[in-house]
């Protein structure tokens, strides 16, 4: 029996590829690993779980009423990238992030790219993620998407692809930080032996970055706050963590209101002006007066304050149009249009099911492809063809035919693997990588990111909501 | 700068931590009475429930005032919002909400208390295990208090937390006294029968003061001394005067920090003046029950005023 989402593809292992043996970035780690007593490592694995549970690093899983708080499994074998590999990646990411912001600015102003016919007008105009309310609005400092998580997969020594651009409210950065913290607690000697570039200044960089895009109306040092939907949200731990690490207030919609043309928070001494809001609330819930009227998570009237230029909202409303899965397939064109160069980081070939020829191809090859909902996220509502039964494929084909424009398809890639520690020793599992990018007057990428790992043997689904785990990600200082 | 919602979370987090422990203390005292006095045990459990303010809710669910029923209801029943389990859960939810205001040590101690009590109280408690469970509850709350006092900065966050602790504690001590006020009245206790001795000891046990009483007063229990100890003694950490000394202090810190006084300051001062003015004899002359009833009312009002004055909602 084949477990869900699993395939039998020959994958490139980042530590021990079959052809060439141990890869260089892993040499020092491998030496250390061979000296370790396996029993001690098993003990460390349990220690790690205890650390996470004690500190309450949990996430809520939607649809599971009983286990309302769960841990994301953590594997103690790091995923290691050389300095050289990282430099190449960052060039590609920077270019892409520049293009994303330029695209957003264009889409909400002159729409040159649509006029030039490089992206179909309908795809933007009829897209739910496109916010007409943002047309003509210039965000403070001209930045639309301030915090981006670019999901990258690797399939060979030199082939990296962007799987997804998360330009709305990418999550997971707290795991990047806590994973490192945990690794340093568990194996302090490793970090003395191997020079790993630090990630722990991320909260500081985030704060500086948010301060740099403050509105002109902010007098002196801007007041920054993190807006969370509340303690029942699945990513609440991260919201609290980031606010805490940045030393700013963690606010909910009920704490905020518009006072004299500014957004203000209710403190024990009355209302205090907020200049920059790092919101972890979706567009639709941001302002009940502009968007969903039933939302209690947002701030009535905040969009008016925003349009008047009196608050920075990070990320800006309407950035979802840039990471929409249908737009994704046009990213190579978008990158070239705004940067004048070919995209350094490639896209995964994508069939847009809205196009009749593509739909035909996808239906004929359904058992070989990965098919995703255009607006879906978190690994929900997708089909991994090679792992699905005939019945599942047929059922999915029906959904696909009913609303083709709702889907895209991609070849099933043999994502690279990285070993995890199991009871029987090292065993390869598929991984992806989400580096975090900060945009203000400059672009900064913390050397590392979140490595997500599919814990089930052969599985390609790395999402935490679907049984994925995480690893500490090392960028070597070489 | 502190969000009103955060101040509210801190205040209630601490009220519930205090409550979780108080429930264990009340059950402890009840258990002691039941063990040493086989007659009228159900009456004793009834007064434990009255002190916990849970008498009515209990009677909706149970017929018999037995050790098993009462301890289950006060310690582990999650349909009782004041049970130890409910309280620790509410405290932890509040802590989660205000997590950015807490030190890592404080948060972890609350989270660990919640985890360990959840495990311990998952199944009905065997009567033989009851003392162990009660000890565990007191130990967990002591650990929370220890990490809190040991690591928290003494700022407004600390002040609001302490306000929660002492408003809850004052309420608890006053209720315990009020439920048993009649055994403290001179006319009834004149003889000082064995029966009264048990009652008096029970009161002291409910506030964990049966040993320290003897350090302060003579070895024999005397109702006026007990009342004096629990109401007026300035060094007894669960006395009304002690609670109001600290409530007054933290409210003053807030007024100084913010440069503003509110209705809650006047109320706290009024209660403090009342406690300072008289001797225990005056209180008895005035009427112990009347005094306690008024105190409980004023204390509740203080809580409401704090919430309003500092924009909790």
pLDDT for the residue A217:
87
pLDDT for the residue B34:
80
- What mean pLDDT do residues A288-292 have? 89
Give DSSP secondary structure letters for A133-179: GGTT---GGG-S--EEEEEEEE-SSS-EEEEEEE-S----HHHHHHH
Q: In this model, does residue A4 exceed pLDDT 60?
A: no
- What mean pLDDT do residues B236-265 have? 97
Question: Higher model confidence: residue A473 or residue A69?
Answer: A473
User: What mean pLDDT value characterizes chain B?
Assistant: 92
DSSP 8-state code for residue B64: -
What is the band of A177 on the pLDDT scale with cuts at 50, 70, 90? very high
Contact map slice: B 238-257 vs A, CB within 8 A:
254
Q: In this predicted model, what pLDDT tens digit does every residue of B291-308 receive, in sequence order? A: 999 999 999 999 999 999
Nearest by CB to A251, from B3, B258, B310: name it: B3
Task: For residue B117, give both structure tokens.
Answer: 């009590």
Interface check B112 vs A, CB under 8 A: yes
- Segment B29-35 long-range contacts (CB within 8 Å, at least 24 positions apart): B29/B202, B29/B203, B29/B205, B29/B206, B30/B67, B30/B70, B30/B71, B30/B202, B31/B67, B31/B71, B31/B130, B31/B131, B31/B134, B32/B201, B32/B202, B32/B205, B33/B198, B33/B202, B34/B67
pLDDT for the residue A58:
60
Q: In this predicted model, what pLDDT tens digit does every residue of A14-55 receive, in sequence order? A: 999 887 889 999 999 999 999 999 899 989 988 888 877 776
Question: Higher model confidence: residue A103 or residue B108?
Answer: A103
Picking from B2, B5, B108 by the largest number of A CB atoms within 10 A of its own CB, the best residue to mutate is: B5
- What mean pLDDT do residues A170-186 have? 92
Flag the least confident range among A42-56, A185-199, B127-141. A42-56
Interface check B99 vs A, CB under 8 A: yes
Pick from A456, A413, A424: nearest CA to A11: A413
Flag the least confident range among A96-105, B192-201, B266-275, B286-295. B192-201
pLDDT for the residue A64:
39
pLDDT for the residue A437:
98
Task: For residue B286, give both structure tokens.
Answer: 């005035």
What is the band of B164 on the pLDDT scale with cuts at 50, 70, 90? very high
How close is the nearest chain A Cα to the Cα of B30, in Å?
34
pLDDT for the residue A321:
94
Residue with tokens 């939302």: A295
Q: Which residue of A lies nearest to B3 if distances are taken between CA atoms?
A: A267
pLDDT for the residue B68:
92
Residues of chain A with pLDDT > 70, as a percent, come to 93
Question: Higher model confidence: residue B264 or residue B277?
Answer: B264
- The answer for B311, left when phi > 0, alpha when psi is -120 to 50, beta otherwise, is left
Residues in B closer than 8 angstroms to A243, CB to CB, are: 100
Question: Higher model confidence: residue A198 or residue B200?
Answer: A198
Residues in B closer than 8 angstroms to A54, CB to CB, are: 108, 111-112
Interface check B111 vs A, CB under 8 A: yes
Does the ipTM surpass 0.95? Answer: no
pLDDT for the residue B29:
87
Tell me the helices (H) and strands (E) count for chain A, helix number first: 16, 21
The set of residues, in sequence order, having a beta carbon less than 8 Å from that of A433 and lying 6+ positions away, is A79, A151, A152, A153, A154, A449, A450, A451, A452, A473
Using DSSP's 3-state secondary structure scheme, residue B246 falls into helix
pTM for the full predicted model? 0.86
Give DSSP secondary structure letters for chain B: --BHHHHHHHHHHHHHHHHHHHHHHHHHHHHHHHHH--TTHHHHHHHHHHHHT-HHHHHTT-S---HHHHHIIIII-TTSTTSHHHHHHHHHHHHHHTGGGS-HHHHHHHHHHHHHHHHHTSSPPPGGGHHHHHHHHHHHHHHHHHHHHHH--SSHHHHHHHHHHHHHHHHHHHHHHHHTHHHHSHHHHSS--HHHHHHHHHHHHHTT-TTHHHHHS-SS--HHHHHIIIII-SSSTTSHHHHHHHHHHHHHHHHHHHT---HHHHHHHHHHHHHHH--HHHHHHH-HHHHHHHHHHHHHHHHHHHHHHTT--
CA A81 – CA A94 distance, rounded (Å): 18
What is the band of A59 on the pLDDT scale with cuts at 50, 70, 90? low
Residues in B closer than 8 angstroms to A270, CB to CB, are: 311
Q: Which residue of A lies nearest to B260 if distances are taken between CA atoms?
A: A269
Residues of chain A with pLDDT > 90, as a percent, come to 69
Q: In this model, does residue A2 exceed pLDDT 60?
A: no
Interface check B270 vs A, CB under 8 A: no
How close is the nearest chain A Cα to the Cα of B180, in Å?
39
pLDDT for the residue A463:
78
Asked if the peptide bond before residue B212 counts as cis, ω within 30 degrees of 0, the response is: no
Yes or no, beta carbons of B3 and A249 under 8 Å apart: yes
Q: What do you get for the CA distance between the two ends of chain B, in Å?
A: 16
Q: In this model, does residue B195 exceed pLDDT 80?
A: no
Q: In this model, does residue B119 exceed pLDDT 50?
A: yes
Residues in B closer than 8 angstroms to A245, CB to CB, are: none
Q: In this predicted model, what pLDDT tens digit does every residue of A93-133 receive, in sequence order? A: 999 999 999 999 999 999 999 999 999 998 899 888 999 99
The set of residues, in sequence order, having a beta carbon less than 8 Å from that of B214 and lying 6+ positions away, is none
């Amino acid at each position: 029996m084949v477990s869900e989402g699993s395939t039998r593809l020959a994958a490139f292992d980042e530590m021990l590829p079959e052809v060439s043996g141990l890869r260089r970035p892993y040499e020092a780690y491998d030496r250390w690993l061979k000296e370790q007593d396996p029993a001690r490592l098993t003990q460390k694995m349990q220690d790690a779980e205890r650390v996470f549970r004690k500190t309450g690093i949990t996430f809520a899983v939607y649809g599971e009423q009983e286990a309302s708080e769960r841990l994301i499994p953590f594997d103690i074998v790091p995923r290691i990238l050389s300095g050289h590999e990282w430099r190449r990646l960052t060039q590609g990411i920077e270019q892409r992030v520049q293009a994303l912001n330029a695209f957003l600015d264009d889409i909400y102003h002159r729409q040159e790219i649509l006029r030039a016919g490089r992206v179909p007008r309908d795809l933007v105009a009829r897209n739910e993620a496109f916010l007409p309310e943002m047309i003509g609005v210039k965000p403070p400092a001209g930045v639309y998407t301030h915090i981006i998580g670019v999901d990258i997969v690797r399939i060979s020594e030199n082939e990296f692809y962007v799987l997804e651009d998360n330009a709305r409210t990418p999550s997971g950065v707290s795991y990047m930080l806590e994973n490192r913290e945990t690794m340093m607690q568990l194996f302090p000697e490793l970090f003395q032996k191997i020079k790993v570039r630090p990630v722990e200044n991320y909260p500081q960089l985030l704060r500086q970055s948010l301060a740099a895009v403050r509105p002109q109306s902010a007098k002196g040092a801007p007041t920054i706050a993190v807006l969370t939907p509340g303690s029942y949200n699945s990513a609440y731990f991260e919201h609290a963590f980031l606010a805490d690490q940045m030393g700013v207030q963690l606010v909910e919609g009920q704490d905020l209101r518009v006072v004299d043309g500014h957004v203000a928070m209710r403190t024990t001494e009355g209302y205090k002006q907020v200049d920059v809001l790092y919101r972890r609330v979706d567009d639709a819930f941001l302002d009940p007066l502009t968007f969903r009227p039933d939302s209690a998570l947002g701030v009535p009237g905040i969009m008016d304050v925003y349009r008047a230029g009196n608050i920075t909202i990070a990320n800006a409303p309407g950035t979802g149009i840039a990471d929409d899965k249908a737009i994704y397939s046009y990213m190579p064109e978008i990158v070239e249009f705004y940067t004048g160069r070919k995209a350094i980081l490639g896209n995964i070939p994508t069939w847009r099911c809205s196009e009749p020829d593509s739909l035909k191809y996808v239906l004929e090859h359904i058992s070989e492809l990965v098919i995703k909902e255009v607006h879906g996220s978190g690994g929900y509502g997708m089909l991994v063809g090679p792992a699905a039964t005939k019945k599942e494929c047929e059922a999915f084909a029906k959904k696909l035919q009913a609303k083709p424009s709702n889907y895209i398809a991609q070849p099933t890639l043999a994502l690279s693997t990285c070993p995890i520690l199991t009871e029987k020793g090292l065993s390869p599992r598929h991984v992806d990588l989400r580096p975090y990018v900060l945009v203000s007057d400059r672009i900064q990428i913390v050397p590392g990111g979140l490595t997500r790992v599919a814990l089930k043997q052969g599985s390609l689904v790395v999402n935490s909501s679907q049984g994925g785990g995480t690893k500490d990600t090392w960028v070597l200082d070489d | 700068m502190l969000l009103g919602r955060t101040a509210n979370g801190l205040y209630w987090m601490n009220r519930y931590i205090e409550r979780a422990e108080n429930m264990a203390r009340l059950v402890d005292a009840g258990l002691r009475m039941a063990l040493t006095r086989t007659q009228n045990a159900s009456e004793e459990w009834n007064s434990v429930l009255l002190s916990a303010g849970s008498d009515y809710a209990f009677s909706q669910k149970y017929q018999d005032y037995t050790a098993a029923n009462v301890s289950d209801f006060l310690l582990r029943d999650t349909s009782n919002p004041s049970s130890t389990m409910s309280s620790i859960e509410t405290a932890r939810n509040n802590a989660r909400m205000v997590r950015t205001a807490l030190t890592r040590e404080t948060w972890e101690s609350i989270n660990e208390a919640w985890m360990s009590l959840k495990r311990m109280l998952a199944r009905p408690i065997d009567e033989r295990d009851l003392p162990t469970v009660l000890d565990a509850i007191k130990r967990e709350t002591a650990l929370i208090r220890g990490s809190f006092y040991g690591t928290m900065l003494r700022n407004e966050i600390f002040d609001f937390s302490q306000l929660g602790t002492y408003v809850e504690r004052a309420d608890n001590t006053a209720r315990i006294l009020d439920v048993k006020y009649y055994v403290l009245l001179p006319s009834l206790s004149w003889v000082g029968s064995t029966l009264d001795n048990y009652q008096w000891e029970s009161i002291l046990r409910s506030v964990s003061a049966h040993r320290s009483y003897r350090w302060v007063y003579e070895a024999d229990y005397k109702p006026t001394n007990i009342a004096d100890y629990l109401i007026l003694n300035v060094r007894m950490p669960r006395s009304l005067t002690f609670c109001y000394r600290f409530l007054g202090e933290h409210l003053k810190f807030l007024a100084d920090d913010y440069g503003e006084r509110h209705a809650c300051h006047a109320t706290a001062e009024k209660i403090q003046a009342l406690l300072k003015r008289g001797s225990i004899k005056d209180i008895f002359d005035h009427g112990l029950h009347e005094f306690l009833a008024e105190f409980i009312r004023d204390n509740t009002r203080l809580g409401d005023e704090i919430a309003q004055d500092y924009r909790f909602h």
